Structure 1
Amino acid sequence: MKEIIIDEFQDAVHDSLIRHRSILDIITKLSESNSRINRAVAKAATNHGCIKVVATKQNIPEDASLDNITEFLSYQIEGKLCDNCREILETEIGNNIYYLAALCNAMELNLFDIIIRQNEKIETLGKFSML
């Protein structure tokens, strides 16, 4: 079922993408959408104030193991997104996924297959997959 949803989404992107169909348009729109996500997070902290970014050195005890390291790490965010900021961020992430699917279409890649392969990599390598 999930495969169908992702494939249908990718097909819908293919059918709807007219104005920015060039690969250069797609990759620059994808990059722009990444920036808009970053901007939405920054605005939630700086303009709206519903979240606070507390970026400090992560304190990991010397005796921490990979099995329990996540107990000592945080996303360094205090507070919760308000409904308005959540809606903006969800919209921007949606736009990003749209252009990611468009890139997959342009390069003849299947987004669902990429997600499956990445998930298998994470399941196989666990915490070592992104070190």
Structure 2
Amino acid sequence: MGAPTLQEFQSQVSELLLRHRSLLDVVTKYSQSNASVNRAVSKSITECGCIELTARNQGFSEEMPLDQANRQSKSHMEGNLCEQCREVIRSEMGKNLFYMSAMCNLLDISLEEVVTKEADKCSTLGWFNLT
């Protein structure tokens, strides 16, 4: 069995959403789940140590061509997630996606349409999408 489509996932979330029918509740749970993703990533650095951060100025300038800026940009991350950290972060991202889907349901927004429109915007604007 393959992965569910975004529409199938959004429908599944709608069926499972019993306690959190209030938009305010879903918005705050979404925010909380986002913080949990950030915390899990931070713990992979500070507790596990499977990845390290060495952050410094990217060194971009207004005159720099975009392709050069892209080549010299860094993630500031060294190492790779261990399997345990990967699973924890994946789980937290799943909860985050659940509450995003729940918010879409309550606001009558198609998650698939959100992804499609963002992908179209990225295709059209390319690097300029981030400015």
TM-score (norm 1): 0.93
Q: CA deviation at 1:58?
A: 1.1
The CA RMSD measured in Å over matched residues stands at: 1.6
Q: State the secondary structure of the residue aligned to 1:52.
A: strand
Q: CA deviation at 1:67?
A: 2.2
Tell me which residue corresponds to 1:10.
10
> Pairwise mapping of residues 23-34 of structure 1 onto structure 2 (< 5 A)?
23-34=23-34
Letter in 2 for 1:118: E
CA distance in 1, matches of 2:57, 2:42: 19
Letter in 2 for 1:17: L
Runs of 4+, deviation exceeding 4 Å: none
CA distance in 2, matches of 1:82, 1:29: 27
Q: CA deviation at 1:63?
A: 5.8
Q: CA deviation at 1:68?
A: 2.9
**Which runs of no fewer than 5 residues in structure 2 stay unpaired?**
none
> Pairwise mapping of residues 62-101 of structure 1 onto structure 2 (< 5 A)?
64-101=64-101
Tell me which residue corresponds to 2:58.
58
CA distance in 2, matches of 1:75, 1:38: 16
- 1:68-101 deviation per Cα after TM superposition (whole angstroms, max 9, x unaligned): 3211111111110000000000000010000000
Letter in 1 for 2:39: R
**Which runs of no fewer than 5 residues in structure 1 stay unpaired?**
none
Tell me which residue corresponds to 1:109.
109
Quick one: structure 1 residues 62 and 109, their matched pair in 2 at CA, closer, same or farther if it must change by over 3 Å? closer
TM-score (norm 2): 0.93
